[in-house]
Amino acid sequence: MRSKFISWPAVLGGLFLPLVATAAEVLVAVAANFAAPMQKIVPLFEQDTGHKAVLSLGATGSFYAQIRNGGPFQILLAADDETPIKLEQEGWGIQGSRFTYATGKLVLWSKQANWVDDKGLVLQTGAYKRLAIANPKLAPYGAAALETLVQLGLLQSVQGKLVQGDNIAQTYQFVLTENAQLGFVALSQVYAEGKIKQGSAWTVPSNLHKPLQQDALLLNAGKNNAAALALLNYLKGEKAKAIIRSFGYSV
C-alpha cells in the first residue's frame, strides 16, 4: 500500500488564502467636516476591496475622549493633527501609521446670497443677531473660528452673539436653518463642483488661524483588521484624493 504524503504548507496555504480574501469591517470615527467626502469614498472603497466601512460622525475632541475610554473605533480621521499625535504618544494608536489625509479650509458662510463679502467685513457691521461656531474645546474648526475672531480683534464685540454647535455639522445646521445668520463652517460643507453651492461665503485666510491639517490614525483595535489597513491605503490613492479635492480640501 502506498503511503500518502500530505504537504502541510500546501494545506495551511489552502486554509489561509480564503481567510485573507474574506471581507472585513472597519469602524471609522470621522470628523464631521469630512462627512460628505467620506460618504462618497466609502462606496468606491467597498466596491474595489470587498471590505465594509461603518462611519461614526462627530467632533474630534469627543472622539478623543471616547477612544481613551475604550471606544470601539479602529480608525480615526481627525479634523486636526494634534489629536492623532496625542493618541499615538499615549499608546492608543499604532506608531508610524499616522498621515495627513487632507488640509481643510474655514469659511464664514450665510445662507443669504450676496451678503457675505469677499473680505469678511460683514462681521464688523453687526447687522446680524447670531454668529455660529463649533465648540472650540471639541472641534478644531471651532478653535480656528475663535482664533480668527481674536486675530481680527472682534471677539469681544461678537461675544454676545455667539452660538456654539457641538460639532461643525451642527454649526452648519444652525446657519442652514437660519437660526444663525452667519457661521464659521468647513468649506467642504458648502462647496461643490468648484463653487459655493448656496448663499455667500468668505474663505478665511490661512494666516488668521493654525493650519487645519487633518490626520488619520490606525487605532489599536484596528491593528490586525484587514479592512482598516485597506481603507488607510485607499485614502492615499488617486480615487480618494480626487474626491477629497472636489470638496475644496488640499491633499
Q: What is the pLDDT of residues 116-154, one digit of tens each?
A: 999 999 999 888 999 999 999 999 999 999 999 999 999
CA distance 49 to 227: 8
Please name the residues in contact with 30: beta carbons below 8 A apart, sequence gap of 6 or more: 38, 55, 56, 57, 58, 77
User: Does the residue 11 lie in any domain?
Assistant: no
Least Cα distance to 128 among 61, 218, 200, 223 occurs for 200
Instruction: Say which CATH number the domain at 181 has.
Output: 3.40.190.10
Prediction pTM value: 0.86
Q: Is 86 in the same domain as 126?
A: no
H/E element holding 162? strand 162-165
pLDDT at residue number 126 = 80
When divided into structural domains, the chain yields a total of 2
Return the residue matching grid coordinates 472650540.
136
Residue 11 pLDDT exceeds 70 = no
Tell me, what DSSP letter sits at residue 173?
H
CA distance 225 to 55: 16
Q: What is the pLDDT of residues 217-240, one digit of tens each?
A: 999 999 999 999 999 999 999 999
Q: Is 70 in the same domain as 151?
A: no
Alpha helix stretches (DSSP H) within 54-136: 60-68, 82-89, 122-125
Beta-bridge partners for 10: none
Q: Is 152 in the same domain as 64?
A: no
Q: Is 177 in the same domain as 154?
A: yes
